[in-house]
Structure formats: C-alpha cells, structure tokens
Structure 1
Amino acid sequence: MRHNAWDQAYRDGAIFDWFAKFRRDRFPRRVRFVTRSYRYDSAYWVRIDGLTPGAPASIDAVWTGKTALQVDTQNVEAFTIRLEQLPDAPIPGVLITATIDGLPLRVKAAAVLSFIKTAMRWRAGFYTPPAKRPGAEGPIVEAVAGRQIYVYGSGGAPAAEDLEARRKLAETAAAWSTVRRKLSLALAVKPDTAVTADDIASADLVLFGTAETNSAIARFAGRMPLALSSAAADYGLLFIAPLGKHYALVNSGLPWWAGADEADRGGYPLAPPQFRLLSTFGDYILFKGSLANVVAEGRFDQNWKVPADAAPKILASGTVTIH
C-alpha cells in the first residue's frame, strides 16, 4: 500500500465503524498512572501531590465499594482524591475507609481528600512541597521550554577578541534555526551588564561563564548548587537552578555541546539540535574534554542539592564546589 493506507482505512467509512466500537469512560472507578514530574501529576480524579522529580512515582486507586477506596503507591509522598469529579461520589460527611498501601484509614467524605505519608503511616492532611515543586523541578531542558535570554559575561577585563568569543559562544547556543530547519524564532543574546530586572522576572536565563566572568552568575551565586573553578581547564559544567518563577541554566567552562557528535546522546530526533541535546540531561552534568567523557550527571534532590552518593565523583575532579 505504501503511503495509500487511507484508501483502505476510509473506504466505505470503515475507520469510523471501527472507532464506534470504543467508548471512553469519563468516570472510571479505577485510575492507574506513573509519572516522573509534577507537570504530569494527575489523571481523572487522582492527583499526586508529592514526588521526587525524575524518579517514577506510581499510584493505583480503585473504589471497591460505595465508601471503600483502595490505593497502592510507590515513591509517592502525598496524593489527593477529588470526589468532586465523581458523579456517584459518597455524600459529604459519610465515613470512607481508605486502605492505603495495605493500612486502613477512616475519613469523612469531602469534595477533596488529601493524604500525606509520614514515617509511621499515611494520614489525612495537606502536603507542603520542599524546594522542588510544581514549576521548579527541572530538568535542564525546562530552562529552554519558554522565553529565554542568553547571557555572556563581560567581567575579568577580557581583551576585545575574548569578549567577542564569549558573545559568539552565546549566539551559537541561541541559534536554533538552521538551513535545514528554519524557525521563526529569534532568541535574545546580551551581555551580563544589560540584564534587567524585567528580564529576570519574565524569562529563563542561560548564563555562560563563572562568577568571576559573569556578573549575573555572581549575583545569584548564593542560590546555585554548584560552581566550577575559573581555573579549571578542559572541564564543562552545566546545571539548572530555580530563579524565582523561572530558571537559570549555567554553563561554565566548555560549552555543553562540546563533543556532542562523538557522544551521540540521542534525544528528540525532530527537535532543533540544541533542544535535542539538552533534553538528554538531568539537572546537572560535569564532563572533561568532551561529552563523551562524563564525570558525573543526574538529578538534584528535593532541596536542589547534589545527592550524597553523587558528591564524591564531582569533588574528585578538584574543579567544582558544591554548595
């Protein structure tokens, strides 16, 4: 058939007859889903309120009776059952038995029922997320998912040719449109001295350099989980950090695309090269010489800190400070 599959699919309305056999259950009694991100935290009447971004969190909730709910979880710190979205929900005030991970809990029916996990067991209550939360969870690619500004440093008294090299590096990162993939997109590139309060409030910042060469990095150094020594040779460090309602993406040392062809990390095949490569990273990556020689990479913990088991690898390089 080659590309003429539609000849058979649409002949005599066959495809519509096939679709007519299926009906979507708008109010399923059982909901199961797995997510790694707050961005995708809910399905039907179930919402996961607490998780570790990057780690798979799963929930399986089923009504086994009019007032009996069974919930099984993995890597979930908190969740909410939205009775308001069920047409046959228990009447408010009626006692419900919620059996969560094998342990029963009696609660009164309400529009929403929220549960949090404690050291001993589950209990009714609302969850307050730690530093990583909806809208501030990473990974790196999230810093280029919205409005973004590429900022190169002008500090350290660089010679004219060095300053020009810094500008061109930022422009290379911002050049998403290519001869093969033309995009109606122009991403802003500016020196650190031109960054305004409005820029910080309205856009994600992609910052190049170190605190010694880029005043924007120096300005927010206290919020950064990592820092590459300005004396480090042949190393590249890339990491994401929350900055108010937006992100800072910091690239110190070698650019994040150094040795990308050799590393062949994959990514979304139809995406622009910059986005495709960034989509393969977690929250941070440290490499030496090339992306083909990764020293350490991964996700920060729920408090935007380097996990304890990853710190020795990073510190062993002698080039990075962990805050």
Structure 2
Amino acid sequence: MPSGTCPLRPNGSPTVIIDGQKLSGDRVRTDRSWESRFIKALGQWRLVGRFEFAGLAKRPGLQGPIDDAFMDRFVMVKPTGRANSEAIGKWTEAQLGQALSDWELQFRAKPRVVDDIDLTRDDIENSNLILWGDAGSNLLIERIIDQLPLNWTSDTLALGQAEAGAVTHVPVLIFPNPLNPNRYVVLNSGFTFSRFGHMSNATQTPKLPDWALVDISKPYNAGDPDCIAAAGFFNERWQPKTVD
C-alpha cells in the first residue's frame, strides 16, 4: 500500500491469512505505507524480505501474457531472409504491417522497427523483442529457436501437447528472451486487442494467453477462435502446461 493509504496502525504487524494459514506481516510504516511478500514452499507460506528466483520462473513484470510485452520498451524486429514457406512469409509480412498500422491508429505513435541484421546489444539488453517470421527468415528466431518450448519443423508445429501442420500454422507466443531473461521475446504478434480496441476502452483487454498456434489459411483475428488451433498459458516455470 502506498504512503498514506494503509488503514492499519503504524508500527503494528498485521496478521495475514493465506489459504487458511495465519502469518505475521511486516510492520506498517509510520508514513502509513505497507507491503509484505510471501512465498509458498513445501506446502507452507512464509514471509520473505524479497523475491528470489532460481532458474526460469514467472515473476512480476515477467509473467505474460503476450500483451505484457507492450507495456514497456519494445522493438519490432523485421526479417531479412527467406521464410521456410511462401505462405508463412506472406502471412508474417502482412501481420507485421497490420501491427504497425494498428499501433499508430490506437496509440498515435510509430513503433521502432529494425532489420534483424541491425539489432544491437543495447536493444537486447533494454527492449522486449517482437520477432517476426520463422527460423528461415529471421536471424534472431534462428538464434534462439532451440531455447524456446517449441518444436517447429518443416512439417510439424508442436507446443506442449498441441500439434498442428507447419505448412498452415504459425506460433505466436511470449517467453523470456534466452539472450536476456529479464526481457521478453514475442513471436509474430502485436497487441492482441487490435481488432477491438478502437471501439471502446472496455475492449482493450488481452485476447490471447501466453501462446497460440494460428491457422494462417483463415483470416487472422486474435479474438476469433476459428483461426486459433490451440492456445494456453505456460506454467510458473515457463513450460507448457500438461493435461492429465
């Protein structure tokens, strides 16, 4: 709670109940601000001074979904190579153009766009990377594809338990950047409410979770399930969720 907003007594340690477990929180500060952090380990909650994450894990500011990448500095990375299929090349080129147009229409600004061959170390360190294309056309996708939870061959596109034909499907997803895990990479997507956001602020909400397999043989609209072959969230360790 920010300064002046906590209704509790200063210097007191509030009791916090999570999942029926009672815990003592940090003290309320004299400026009437208050914050406490808790983690769950081995089935029990406990108070911690700060969050520490071992390995890849979702955390505040790095938790998805796709639209979260556009809440901070980002750069659109344009492919300069040849896609693995003509259909994928045409689709990603069209969707990049649409994403740029949608951003300018909705937010009255032009996104920064760089060719994959011109991406700098500063871009990788300080920006979320919005990568367009496939491993054949985009050097950055080629560089990191083996570190994404995705199997994308010339015939098959698979993510977790979802599978589709690679000739007619393209992945859109968000994931911690393997070259800088404190930033995101996004494959083949702008903000997902672009077809709705101009109508009302009430429609400016994410239309996709962390990932989706898109059928490029159908008109694309992130909010239309007819063109989404599969979609889902990654788990807390950024791995595909499994269905028992």
Using structure 2 for the length normalisation, give the TM-score.
0.66
Where structure 2 has 5 or more consecutive residues not aligned to the other structure, the ranges are 156-165, 219-223
Shift of 1:147: 2.4
Structure 2 counterparts to residues 52-63 of structure 1, below 5 A: none
Higher relative CO (Cα under 8 Å, sequence separation at least 6) belongs to 2
Residue aligning to 2:162:
none
How many residues end up aligned between the 2 structures? 212
Residue aligning to 1:286:
213
CA displacement, residues 54-98 of structure 1 (integer Å, 9 cap, x when unaligned): xxxxxxxxxxxx77x54222499xx9833142579xxxxxxxxxx
Shift of 1:304: 0.7
Structure 2 counterparts to residues 260-279 of structure 1, below 5 A: 269-270=199-200, 276=204, 279=206
Residue aligning to 2:242:
308
Shift of 1:212: 2.3
Distance 1:113 1:167, change over 3 A: closer
Q: 1: distance between equivalents of 2:119 and 2:35? A: 44
Alignment-mate amino acid for residue 207 of structure 1 = L
Residue aligning to 1:119:
42
CA displacement, residues 109-137 of structure 1 (integer Å, 9 cap, x when unaligned): xx987654333544455553351112211
Q: Which protein is richer in strand relative to its size?
A: 1
Q: 1: distance between equivalents of 2:129 and 2:212? A: 18
Structure 2 counterparts to residues 132-143 of structure 1, below 5 A: 132-143=58-69
Q: Does 1:27 align with 2:6?
A: yes
Alignment-mate amino acid for residue 173 of structure 1 = A
Q: 2: distance between equivalents of 1:164 and 1:305? A: 30
Where structure 1 has 5 or more consecutive residues not aligned to the other structure, the ranges are 1-24, 31-44, 46-65, 89-110, 311-323
Residue aligning to 1:197:
121
Residue aligning to 1:247:
184
Shift of 1:142: 1.1
Distance 1:167 1:219, change over 3 A: same
Alignment-mate amino acid for residue 29 of structure 1 = L
Using structure 1 for the length normalisation, give the TM-score.
0.52
Structure 2 counterparts to residues 149-298 of structure 1, below 5 A: 149-156=75-82, 169-175=95-101, 176-178=103-105, 183=108, 185-231=109-155, 232-243=166-177, 244=180, 245-251=182-188, 269-270=199-200, 276=204, 279-288=206-215, 289-290=217-218, 291-293=224-226, 294-298=228-232
Q: 2: distance between equivalents of 1:219 and 1:257? A: 24
Q: Kindly, what percent of the aligned residue pairs are identical?
A: 24
Alignment-mate amino acid for residue 236 of structure 1 = V
Residue aligning to 1:72:
17
CA contact 1:210–1:227 (8 Å) conserved in 2: no
Distance 1:209 1:221, change over 3 A: same
